[in-house]
Structure 1
Amino acid sequence: MTKIKSTTVLAVIHEGKVAIGADGQATMGNYVAKSNVKKIRKLQEGKIVTGFAGSTADAFTLLERFDEKLNSYGGNMKRAAIELAKDWRMDRYLRKLEAMLITADKNELLVISGTGDVLEPDAQIAAIGSGSMYAQSAALALKKHAKGLSAKQIVEESLNIAADICIYTNHNLIIEEIE
């Protein structure tokens, strides 16, 4: 799978709720270009939430294509993701795009990459970006051991832990939920 740096996006399904969040930092080379980028988008009238890591222009192109696929396949997230991954891998233009997506609906999480991957992560936790392993590790521990936390609280705390460790991740968080 492609390694995307310069952000952290995390999604968690916990106790029937879905939360997805991302930090707001955009870097260009070795400096912070912007600290409050919104990397989370709601699609299909809020039934599907997606987060992106990588080149912003590339991610917006992929989000548009993903939304088109959702409309073509009646909002079926998994089918739309598979069709997007096929196009992404086969199309000369799309193949050059450097981004990754996490998509979530009320039942499942998917990670979509330009290498044709559509992954359903274990433990109903998905993470992408440079701080992804920090956020994912924290989310796994919190989901397992911190009783009484909501999906949103797990995402928030995990992203804050990643921001404390990863220089490409900041504490300006955007978190969205699906009930």
Structure 2
Amino acid sequence: MPIESEVIKTGTSTVGITFDGGVVVGADHRATMGNFIANKNVKKLFQISGRVALTTAGLVGHAQSLARMLSAELSLYELKRNTPMTVRGAATL
């Protein structure tokens, strides 16, 4: 019988839970490179605005750039229009 290699699954865990008063989001803190834990305290949860949050998975640098870009776009929108962008609008950027 051939010996099957053990499959090790890695990945990021993020969760969002809605309730009548809003939403709660969470994410893990580990960054891995294969089976190696490269960092135990990586930021994967970003508050973009008062009504928009972002959880991320994948390359840390890309996630941080995305968070900065979204935050800037939402701030610029609010400055130009004197009203915050809707969550639906932010999701389509």
Q: CA separation in 1, counterparts of 2:90 and 2:51?
A: 14
Aligned Cα RMSD in Å? 1.8
Give me the identity figure in percent. Answer: 32
Q: TM-score, normalised by structure 2?
A: 0.70
What residue is the counterpart of 1:19 in the other structure?
Answer: 24
- C-alpha displacement of 1:11: 0.7
User: Which structure: greater helix fraction?
Assistant: 1
Q: 1:29 aligns with which of 31, 34, 38?
A: 34
**Residue segments in structure 1 that go unaligned for 5+ positions in a row:** 84-179
Q: CA separation in 2, counterparts of 1:38 and 1:71?
A: 21
Q: CA separation in 1, counterparts of 2:65 and 2:31?
A: 17
Q: TM-score, normalised by structure 1?
A: 0.39
Aligned length: 78
**Residue segments in structure 2 that go unaligned for 5+ positions in a row:** 1-9, 79-83
Letter paired with 2:22: K
What residue is the counterpart of 2:4 in the other structure?
Answer: none
What residue is the counterpart of 2:56 in the other structure?
Answer: 52
> 1:1-179, aligned counterparts within 5 Å?
6-44=11-49, 46-74=50-78, 75-76=84-85, 77-83=87-93
**Relative contact order: is structure 1 or structure 2 higher (C-alpha 8 Å, sep ≥ 6)?**
1
